[in-house]
Amino acid sequence: SSKPSSKFTATTKALSKADKEMAKFYVLIGPPGAGKGTQAKIIADKYGLVHISSGDLFRENLKNETELGKLAQGFMARGELVPDDVTIGMVRDRISRPDCKNGALLDGFPRTPAQADALAVMLKEFDSKVELVPLIDVPAQVLIDRLSGRWSCRAQGHVFHEKFNPPQVAGICDIDGSELYQREDDQRSTVENRIKVYTQQTAPLIEYYQSRNLLVTVDGTKPIDEVSADLQAAIEKA
Catalytic residues: 36, 111, 150, 183, 194
Whose CA is closest to 37, among 188, 150, 148?
150
**Cross-strand bridge partners of residue 28:** 107
DSSP string spanning 12-26?
Answer: HHHHHHHHHHH-EEE
Contact call for residues 201 and 208 (beta carbons, < 8 A): no
d(CA 159, CA 156): 9
* Contact flag: residue 146 with ligand AP5 (CB under 6 A): yes
CB 220 within 8 A of CB 137: yes
> Interface with ligand AP5 by CB under 6 A: which range of 51-59, 95-103, 204-212, 230-238?
51-59
Q: Helix and strand tally (H, E) in the chain?
A: 10, 8
Instruction: Examine residue 167 and tell whether it contacts ligand AP5 (CB under 6 A).
Output: no
In the complex, least distance from residue 62 CB atom to ligand AP5, rounded to whole angstroms: 9
Residue pair 150/160 in contact by the 8 Å Cβ criterion: yes
Q: Which of 49, 81, 105, 180 contacts ligand AP5 by CB under 6 A? A: 81
Contact with ligand AP5 (CB under 6 A) among 102, 148, 156, 165: 165
Contact between 25 and ligand AP5 per CB under 6 A? no
Q: Of the candidates 19, 164, 178, 234, which one interacts with ligand AP5 according to CB under 6 A?
A: 164
**Least distance CB 220 / ligand AP5 (angstroms):** 6
Interface contacts to ligand AP5, rule CB under 6 A: 30, 32-38, 54-55, 58, 75-76, 79-82, 87, 108-109, 111, 115, 146, 150, 159-161, 164-165, 185, 194, 220, 223-224, 227
